[in-house]
Amino acid sequence: MEKAIVVVDEIYGFLPGGALACGHSLEAVAATKALLENNPSIPALFICDHHPANHCSFAAQGGPWPPHCVAGTREGEIHDDLLPFVQEELTFYKGCDPAVEQYSGFEGRNTAGQSLSEVLQLLGTEVVYVVGIATEYCVRNTAEDLLKAGFKVTVLEDCLGWVDREGHKKTLPELAREGIRIK
Binding site for Zn ion (CB under 5 A): 49, 95
**Candidate list 48, 94, 145, 159, residue with the active-site label:** 94
Assign 35 to helix, strand or coil.
Answer: helix
- Closest separation between CB of residue 159 and Zn ion, Å? 20
Nearer to Zn ion among residue 10 and residue 49 (C-beta): 49
Q: Are 52 and 60 in contact (CB under 8 A)?
A: no
Amino acid symbol at 20: L
Nearer to Zn ion among residue 11 and residue 155 (C-beta): 11
Whether 94 is catalytic: yes
- Write out the E strands in the chain: 3-8, 44-49, 91-94, 127-133, 152-161, 181-182
Whether 138 is catalytic: yes
Distance CA 24, CA 15 (A): 9
- Closest separation between CB of residue 181 and Zn ion, Å? 26
**Candidate list 22, 69, 138, 159, residue with the active-site label:** 138
Distance CA 151, CA 123 (A): 12
- CA torsion angle for 89, 92, 96, 100 (degrees, to 10)? 140
Nearer to Zn ion among residue 50 and residue 168 (C-beta): 50
- Closest separation between CB of residue 84 and Zn ion, Å? 25
Catalytic annotation, residues? 9, 94, 138
